[in-house]
């Protein structure tokens, strides 16, 4: 089939089963957009900013377990999208981002809207391509999707000059993939797995350390079975929330800087860490020399470069989490869950000593109450996206997650402005669920133009703005470590969020009581249009527990004890 390069892009997307593309057109990508206009096999969602297009593709991918697709133009179109690429790279999200480029004859001439896109994207993509011949496009696009979704997932960038999209060449998408230097190792070494499981059987205080790789591998069911067969308590990283259900007796809680007291103490006193799809991030480990320093470490990961990168693994196992956990299940008979009864009781005592809680000691609503209340009202019927800041940590702490891919947030890069466009992508991927975005009065302004996208495409995202008139997380650090010098974090001057939502054709609410919040949430869901619910919350509330940067997990700053709520 002899077709143009632009037509090849469309045919490749259809062949890959893509049903949704997020993007923003421009001169260099115009030939491809002309072909999008002519087809009816997938929908295109026009965002109002290129960063938002990539974040929406991330949200779509996280919620659907599919490869997200974004399309952008050259120059500023691409540079606007770089934050999304870096965000996806840090969190191992499979994306294919297609950008237009100036014609081949103009590359290197400082032409209008020319930028070295492949040079810029190289450090923040799993792989990238500059297409110089339309005949290469079928192979490159097929490789891009394969690389994005296989092994450790990640974003792949394909940069296509405008004249290449106009070239006519043969389109054959059945071309065989042959990537000599890319062979993901998906099966774990069976002898190593057997030895590791025997070591677990000999441990007294083992802990499962559950990471985001479990979600990426769609291995939550297998991990749940392994945890319950062995009776070993588990901690989750921020990226792994929903691997176990919130009410699972063996779930200790979230680990790390804002993890629960019980989770951090369990990790500090364990003698066996079973890390599944986790990368020992600094926000999880705290001071490395003190992290689980008396423990033997089993580290399972699809990415060999991640194993022993920060914490030495006594039993390194390279492989896909689902495959390795199935092999572990086959060996689980060597483990007697009764051996850990005393250890489980110790963890219960940790939790009773300093439970994860908050106090309603303010006239204003507490943000933790708002998040927990949404959980009570919606529970499993909602997908939860967040921006970045205090509201993000409170969401991870207090929402009752019951399934994988229910929690969508920016982990490694910590990108303010992620939440709203991601929630749009989540709603496009899972229209049957209510799409909630917990955000702050700082974060929401970074991509509030996406109100127009949500209105136009009838994607009724409910944005719950926890407004403390501060850049809350930075303010918290200024309170604790900078003698309350609130340098450029006071956001007392803010827009009227209700009128802002209404100006775009959405709906806005301003609430200050529990009754008003319940009514606003129920009305927003019933109205079925994009909504801002501005909640005036306690200004100086801190996220606790907190491990100071570089501190040890067992040296937590804790909530002062009062009469509990």
**Domain finish residue from 108, 140, 170:** 170
List of residues 6+ apart from 196 with CB closer than 8 A: 274, 298, 315, 317, 328
- What are the beta bridge partners of residue 206? 272
**527 in any annotated domain:** yes
pLDDT band at 421 (very low <50, low <70, confident <90, very high): very high
Q: Do both 303 and 215 map to the same domain?
A: yes
**157 preceded by cis ω (within 30°)?**
no
pLDDT confidence of residue 561: 75
CA dist., res. 488 & res. 515, Å (int) = 33
Q: 355: which 2 tokens? A: 């439970």
Domain count, the chain: 3
Q: Do both 219 and 284 map to the same domain?
A: yes
What residue numbers bound the domain in which 90 lies?
A: 2-170
pLDDT in tens, 478-515: 999 999 999 999 999 999 999 999 999 999 999 999 99
Q: Do both 432 and 288 map to the same domain?
A: no
Q: 294: which 2 tokens? A: 């008396």
CA dist., res. 301 & res. 216, Å (int) = 11
CA dist., res. 60 & res. 20, Å (int) = 9
pLDDT in tens, 9-41: 999 999 999 999 999 999 999 999 999 999 999
CA dist., res. 282 & res. 547, Å (int) = 11
- What are the beta bridge partners of residue 510? 534
* pLDDT for 178 beyond 70: yes
List of residues 6+ apart from 467 with CB closer than 8 A: 440, 441, 494, 497, 534, 535, 536, 537
pLDDT in tens, 376-397: 999 999 999 999 999 999 999 9
Q: Do both 20 and 130 map to the same domain?
A: yes
CA dist., res. 462 & res. 460, Å (int) = 6
Q: How many CB atoms lie within 10 A of CB 484?
A: 10
Query: Chain centroid to CA 330: how far?
Result: 31
Q: Do both 377 and 295 map to the same domain?
A: no
CA dist., res. 371 & res. 440, Å (int) = 13
Q: Do both 404 and 278 map to the same domain?
A: no
* pLDDT for 560 beyond 90: no
Q: How many CB atoms lie within 10 A of CB 330?
A: 12
Answering whether pTM is above 0.95, one says yes
Q: How many CB atoms lie within 10 A of CB 517?
A: 21
Contact status, residue 542 vs residue 366, Cβ threshold 8 Å: no
Cα–Cα distances in Å, from 108 out to 111, 326, 481, 492?
8, 52, 48, 47
pLDDT band at 265 (very low <50, low <70, confident <90, very high): very high
Q: Do both 11 and 69 map to the same domain?
A: yes
**Domain finish residue from 326, 353, 380:** 353
CATH number of the domain bearing residue 76: 3.40.50.970
- What are the beta bridge partners of residue 402? none
Secondary structure (H, E, C), 157-225: EEEEEHHHHHCEEECCCCCCCCCCCCCCCCCCCHHHHHHHHHHHHHCCCEEEEECCHHHHCCCHHHHHH
pLDDT in tens, 455-481: 999 999 999 999 999 999 999 999 999
Q: Do both 102 and 52 map to the same domain?
A: yes
**519 in any annotated domain:** yes
Q: 474: which 2 tokens? A: 């930075």
* pLDDT for 258 beyond 80: yes
**257 in any annotated domain:** yes
List of residues 6+ apart from 48 with CB closer than 8 A: 24, 449, 450, 452, 453
pLDDT band at 563 (very low <50, low <70, confident <90, very high): low
pLDDT confidence of residue 564: 46
Q: Do both 343 and 398 map to the same domain?
A: no
Q: Do both 209 and 122 map to the same domain?
A: no
Overall average pLDDT of the 65-79 stretch: 98
pLDDT confidence of residue 565: 45
Phi, psi of 141 (to 5 degrees): -65, -35
Residue with tokens 């908050």: 358
Contact status, residue 208 vs residue 276, Cβ threshold 8 Å: yes
CA dist., res. 291 & res. 194, Å (int) = 25
Q: Do both 381 and 459 map to the same domain?
A: yes
**Domain finish residue from 141, 170, 199:** 170
* pLDDT for 540 beyond 70: yes
**207 in any annotated domain:** yes
As annotated, the active-site residues are 50, 112-113, 162, 473
List of residues 6+ apart from 70 with CB closer than 8 A: 21, 22, 23, 50, 53, 54, 56, 57, 81, 84, 95, 96, 97, 98
Q: Do both 153 and 77 map to the same domain?
A: yes
Overall average pLDDT of the 305-310 stretch: 96
Give the rounded percent of residues in the chain with a pLDDT score beyond 90: 98
Contact status, residue 4 vs residue 167, Cβ threshold 8 Å: yes
Q: What is the average pLDDT score of the chain? A: 97
pLDDT in tens, 511-539: 999 999 999 999 999 999 999 999 999 99
CA dist., res. 41 & res. 456, Å (int) = 20
* pLDDT for 362 beyond 90: no
- Which uninterrupted H or E stretch holds 128? strand 127-130
**37 in any annotated domain:** yes
Nearest-10 crossing angle of helices 390-398, 472-481: 100
**137 in any annotated domain:** yes
CA dist., res. 115 & res. 72, Å (int) = 13
234 closest CA partner among 388, 129, 243, 136: 243
What residue ranges in 237-286 does DSSP mark as E strands? 251-254, 272-276
- Which uninterrupted H or E stretch holds 383? strand 382-386
DSSP 450-508: HHHHHHHTT---EEEEEE-SB-HHHHHHHHHHSTT--TT-B--S---HHHHHHHTT-EE
**238 in any annotated domain:** yes
CATH number of the domain bearing residue 338: 3.40.50.1220
**322 in any annotated domain:** yes
């Amino acid at each position: 089939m002899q077709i143009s390069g632009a037509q090849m892009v469309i045919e490749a997307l259809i062949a890959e089963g893509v049903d949704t593309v997020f993007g923003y057109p421009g001169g260099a990508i115009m030939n491809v957009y002309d072909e999008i206009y002519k087809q009816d096999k997938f929908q295109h969602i026009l965002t109002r900013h290129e960063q938002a297009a990539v974040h929406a593709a991330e949200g779509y991918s996280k919620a659907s377990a599919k490869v997200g697709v974004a399309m952008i133009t050259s120059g500023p179109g691409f540079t606007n999208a770089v934050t999304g690429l870096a965000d996806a790279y840090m969190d191992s999200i499979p994306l294919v981002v297609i950008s237009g480029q100036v014609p081949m004859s103009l590359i290197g001439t400082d032409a209008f809207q020319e930028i070295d896109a492949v040079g810029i994207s190289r450090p923040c993509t799993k792989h990238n391509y500059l297409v110089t011949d339309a005949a290469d496009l079928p192979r490159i696009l097929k490789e891009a999707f394969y690389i994005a979704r296989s092994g450790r997932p990640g974003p792949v960038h394909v940069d296509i000059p405008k004249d290449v999209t106009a070239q006519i060449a043969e389109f054959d998408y059945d071309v065989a993939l042959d990537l000599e230097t890319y062979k993901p190792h998906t099966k774990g070494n069976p002898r190593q797995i057997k030895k590791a499981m025997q070591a677990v059987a000999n441990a007294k205080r083992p802990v499962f350390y559950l990471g985001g790789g479990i979600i990426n591998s769609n291995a939550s069911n297998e991990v749940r079975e392994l945890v319950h067969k062995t009776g070993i308590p588990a901690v989750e990283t921020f990226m792994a929330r929903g691997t176990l259900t919130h009410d699972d007796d063996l779930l200790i809680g979230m680990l790390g800087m804002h993890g629960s007291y019980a989770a951090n103490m369990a990790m500090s006193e364990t003698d066996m860490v079973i890390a599944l799809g986790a990368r020992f991030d600094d926000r999880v480990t705290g001071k490395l020399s003190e992290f689980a320093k008396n423990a033997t470490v089993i580290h399972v990961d699809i990415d060999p470069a991640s194993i022993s990168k920060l914490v030495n693994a006594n039993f390194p196992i390279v492989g896909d989490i689902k495959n390795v956990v199935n092999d572990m299940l086959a060996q689980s008979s060597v483990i007697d869950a009764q051996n850990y009864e005393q250890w489980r009781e110790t963890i219960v005592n940790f939790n009773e000593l300093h439970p994860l809680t908050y106090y309603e000691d303010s006239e204003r609503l507490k943000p933790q109450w708002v998040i927990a209340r949404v959980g009570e009202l919606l529970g499993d019927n909602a997908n939860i996206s967040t921006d970045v800041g205090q509201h993000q940590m409170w969401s991870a702490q207090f929402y009752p997650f019951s399934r994988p891919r229910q929690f969508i947030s920016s982990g490694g890069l910590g990108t303010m402005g992620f939440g709203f466009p991601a929630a749009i992508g989540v709603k496009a991927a899972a229209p049957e669920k209510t799409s909630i975005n917990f955000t702050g009065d700082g974060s929401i302004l970074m991509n509030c133009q996406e109100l127009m996208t949500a209105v136009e495409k009838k994607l009724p995202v409910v944005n719950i703005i926890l407004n403390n008139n501060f850049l809350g997380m930075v303010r918290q650090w200024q309170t604790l470590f900078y003698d309350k010098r609130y340098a450029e974090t006071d956001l007392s001057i803010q827009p009227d969020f209700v009128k802002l939502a209404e100006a775009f054709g959405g709906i806005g609410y301003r609430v200050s009581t529990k009754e008003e919040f319940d009514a606003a949430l129920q009305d927003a869901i019933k109205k079925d249009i994009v909504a801002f619910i501005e909640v005036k919350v306690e200004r100086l509330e801190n996220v606790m527990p907190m491990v100071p940067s570089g501190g040890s997990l067992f040296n937590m700053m804790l909530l002062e004890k009062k009469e509990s709520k």
